[in-house]
Amino acid sequence: MTDATDIARLHADFEASLAVASSEGDLQALRDRFLGRKQGRVTDLFGTLAKAAPEIKRELGRQINELKAHIEQALDARRASIEASRPPAGFVDVTLPGRPPAPVARRHPLTVMRERIESVFTRWGYEIVDGPETEDDWHCFEALNMPAEHPARDMQDTLYLERPFTRGVAGRPGTRTPPPADVASLLRTHTSAMQIHYMTRHEPPIRIIAPGRVYRRDNLDVTHTPMFQQVEGLVVGERVTMGDLKGTIVAFLQELFGEKTRVVFRPSFFPYTEPSADVFASCHKCGGSGCAMCKRTGFIEVLGCGMVHPAVFEAVGYPKGRYTGFAFGMGIERLALLTYGVDDIRHFYENDLRFLEQFPS
């Protein structure tokens, strides 16, 4: 039997449900549940009226009608308020937190170092040349005046390829004997091989730098990686002197490390240069007074150089005595370690972004 309590309970039930309705979908569900034509709960109440006692029928009917009207009105009112608070089309909520910007890519510190070196020399009119990383014994050693018993040619130091390869050698016509076809093949141990590649194809005047990867049979440690990078330099002409070499190297190191850098040349030995020198730059961290970076000496060894040995000119077929020239070679990793004060060369090759992000790009 339906009575006033049922109506009051239904009313309370509706109010509670309305309180948590927050979307138009919720409102539609409420409308179906209470007013649906087949199973709506208010509709059901009308159905039970027929069985109500005649003396209360009229009053109950009035109350149910009132509840129905109340529900319809409440649902309409709530729909209107939801619509009013809906953001207009194209609305941008400026209070939302921003999206974090995508990380900006940077150049690798070794690339930055190489490009700094290249930019100095290209400004001075040098050409940048590129060449093979797989080499033959002749370009890497023999033509550079390194005899068969030279320690660099030892299996312990050089990575040899399993089988020799032959490469078509396009020399300047008729100027030199090509290497025998079966010479040992290897991964170049220094970019000095590029001196030979270039000179066998070009007549002086020559002004080049050759940056690139080189390989040695070294185990990984704080100062060694089996692959690293060098920049080779070569200048050849009719009256190139040791004074030109010194001036060039001093100017270069002052460009790289600053105007106040002092440069010292110390006699050294390389088979492909005579005389040869090791070059030291005053430590740019302490300015030459001595610190941990320069091991308290005030100076840091930065490159090797010298005047091209006549045996090298002979190997590439230049006429005896016509040309002189100088060459130099430096390690990019080494310069980067010194420039940035990095203590372990392996960091450069581990691709750890926490390391790489610390460098200017």
The CB-of-340 to ligand DAH minimum distance in angstroms stands at 21
Binding mask 276-295 for ligand DAH (x = CB under 6 A): --------------------
- Neighbouring residues of 99: CB distance < 8 A, sequence distance ≥ 6: none
With respect to ligand DAH, which residue has the nearer C-beta, 179 or 271?
Answer: 271
Q: Is 211 in the site for ligand DAH (CB under 6 A)?
A: no
Can you state the angle between helices 24-35 and 4-20, rounded to 10 degrees? 170
Residues 171-190 that bind ligand DAH (CB under 6 A): 190
Q: Binding-site residue total for ligand DAH (CB under 6 A)?
A: 11
Residues 87-126 that bind ligand DAH (CB under 6 A): none
Residue linked to tokens 């581990």: 350
Question: Judged by CB, which is closer to ligand DAH: 257, or 326?
Answer: 326
Query: Which residue, 158 or 192, has its beta carbon nearer to ligand DAH?
Result: 192
User: How far is Cα 90 from Cα 82, in angstroms, rounded to an integer?
Assistant: 18
Minimum CB separation of residue 108 from ligand DAH in Å reads 22
Is 59 or 154 the residue whose CB approaches ligand DAH more closely? 154
> Computed from CA positions of residues 309, 172, 329, 239, in that sequence, does the dihedral angle turn out positive or negative?
positive
Cβ-contact 49, 60 below 8 angstroms: yes
Return the bridge partners of 236, or none. 206, 325
Q: Which is nearer to ligand DAH, 36 or 275 (CB)?
A: 275
Contact yes or no for 200/315 (Cβ under 8 A) = no
199, with CB counted inside 10 A (0-12, 13-18, 19+), is buried
If one asks whether residue 270 binds ligand DAH (CB under 6 A), the answer comes out as yes
**By CB under 6 A, residue 215 contacts ligand DAH:** no
- For the CB of residue 328, give the shortest distance to ligand DAH in the complex, in Å: 5
Question: Does 137 help bind ligand DAH (rule: CB under 6 A)?
Answer: no
Select 165 or 269, whichever has its Cβ closest to ligand DAH.
269
Region binding ligand DAH by CB under 6 A among candidate stretches 10-18, 89-97, 98-106, 298-306: 298-306
Instruction: Provide the pairing of β-strand 206-215 with 227-237.
Output: antiparallel
Phi, psi at 290, each rounded to 5°: 105, 125
State which residue, 44 or 274, has the beta carbon closest to ligand DAH: 274
* Minimum CB–partner distance for residue 320 and ligand DAH (Å): 21
- Of residues 228 and 299, the one with the C-beta less far from ligand DAH: 228
Question: What residues from 301 to 330 belong to the interface with ligand DAH (CB under 6 A)?
Answer: 304-306, 327-329
Whose Cβ is closer to ligand DAH: residue 63's or residue 145's?
Answer: 145
Q: Does 192 bind ligand DAH (CB under 6 A)?
A: yes
Whole-angstrom CA distances from 154 to 32, 146, 158, 159, 189 are 91, 12, 6, 9, 11
* Alpha carbon distance 74, 160 (integer Å): 89
CB of 158 to ligand DAH, least distance (A): 12
Site pattern 218..237 for ligand DAH (x: CB under 6 A): --------------x-----
Compute the distance between CA of residue 232 and CA of residue 273 in angstroms, rounded to an integer: 13
By CB under 6 A, name the one of 158, 273, 282, 324 that touches ligand DAH.
273
E runs forming strands in the chain: 127-128, 134-136, 185-187, 206-215, 227-237, 263-270, 273-282, 299-308, 324-331
Instruction: Name, in order, each residue with C-beta under 8 angstroms of 210's C-beta and a sequence gap of 6 or more.
Output: 128, 129, 130, 131, 191, 194, 195, 198, 231, 232, 233, 234
Per CB under 6 A, residues contacting ligand DAH are 190, 192, 232, 270, 273, 304-306, 327-329
